[in-house]
């Protein structure tokens, strides 16, 4: 775990900049790739910190993409949070502003329809991958698998606000069950 050279700062910005352009279907879909890079390849943070960042962002109000600055914060403090947030926002935002009017006129065209329909299954596969990547570090804890399965069932079968499930998970953790 070492971070600090100028090259590291550029790598951090460039990584989240690339994620910005790959995030079709939400920021959470690129979580497995962020995990591969910052945890497995660079060793800037560990599995626990990564999972904590996602959990904190889900527990707080606001868009899910805020797990990105939390990961940046874990890597390099407030400056890390700023650089990673700027990285995930800047490239796609500029593109959106440029392409919006073009896309509004073309949404029924063959190209746009092919793009949407072709990318949809990839997006869903990436979401399931995110769930898997977050679950595997807890593989040796049967209670955690039970908690994950219960959450999936509750989310599919009820309209319970997710904040109560997160709170339930926190209580289970505090009680030492997980």
Partner 1 sequence: MSVQPAPRSAGELFRVFSVLALQGFGGVLPIAQRELVERRLWLTREQFVELLSVSQVLPGPNVVNLALMIGDRFFGWRGALAALAGMLAMPLVIVLTLAAVYARFASEPLVAGALRGMGAVAAGLIIAMGLKLMPTLARSPLGRSPSLLVMAATLALVGVLRWPMAYAVLGLGGAAVIAVWWRLGRPE
For partner 1, the binding residues in 119-148 under the rule CB under 8 A are 119-135, 138, 141, 144, 147-148
Q: Where are the alpha helices (DSSP H) in the chain?
A: 6-22, 31-35, 47-59, 67-106, 110-135, 142-157, 162-174
Return the number of other C-beta atoms located less than 10 Å from residue 83's C-beta: 20
Structure tokens of 119?
């990318």
Q: How would DSSP label each residue in 52-80?
A: HHHHHHHHSSS-GGGHHHHHHHHHHHHHH
Minimum Å gap between C-beta 123 and partner 1 is 8
Residues 6+ apart with CB under 8 A from 119: 24, 25
**Contact with partner 1 (CB under 8 A): which of 10, 22, 43, 142?**
22
- Closer of 6 and 110 to partner 1 (Cβ): 110
> With binding defined as CB under 8 A, does residue 21 bind partner 1?
yes
Q: Is 117 in the site for partner 1 (CB under 8 A)?
A: yes
Q: Which of residues 60-89 bind partner 1 (CB under 8 A)?
A: 60-66, 69-70, 73-74, 78, 81, 85, 88-89
93 binds partner 1 (CB under 8 A): yes
Closer residue to partner 1 (CB): 83 or 88: 88
Interface with partner 1, residue 14, by CB under 8 A: no
Distance CA 34, CA 54 (A): 12
- In the list 11, 26, 42, 86, the residue contacting partner 1 (rule: CB under 8 A) is 26
Q: Which of 2, 7, 110, 139 binds partner 1 (CB under 8 A)?
A: 110
Residue of 10, 43, 48, 142 interacting with partner 1 (CB under 8 A): 48
Q: Does 161 bind partner 1 (CB under 8 A)?
A: yes
Q: How does DSSP assign 77-95, residue by residue?
A: HHHHHHHHHHHHHHHHHHH
């Amino acid at each position: 775990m070492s971070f600090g050279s100028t090259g590291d700062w550029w790598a951090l910005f460039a990584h989240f900049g690339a994620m910005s352009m790959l995030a079709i279907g939400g920021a959470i879909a690129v979580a497995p790739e962020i995990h591969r890079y910052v945890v497995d390849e660079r060793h800037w943070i560990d599995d626990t910190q990564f999972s904590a960042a996602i959990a904190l962002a889900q527990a707080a109000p606001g868009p899910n993409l805020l797990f990105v600055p939390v990961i940046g914060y874990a890597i390099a403090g407030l400056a890390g949070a700023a650089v990673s947030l700027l990285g995930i926002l800047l490239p796609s935002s500029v593109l959106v502003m440029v392409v919006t009017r073009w896309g509004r006129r073309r949404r029924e065209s063959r190209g746009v329809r092919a793009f949407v329909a072709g990318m949809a299954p990839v997006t869903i596969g990436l979401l399931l991958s995110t769930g898997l990547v977050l679950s595997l570090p807890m593989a040796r804890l049967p209670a955690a698998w039970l908690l994950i399965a219960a959450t999936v069932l509750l989310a599919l079968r009820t309209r319970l606000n997710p904040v109560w499930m997160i709170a339930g998970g926190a209580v289970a953790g505090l009680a030492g069950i997980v």
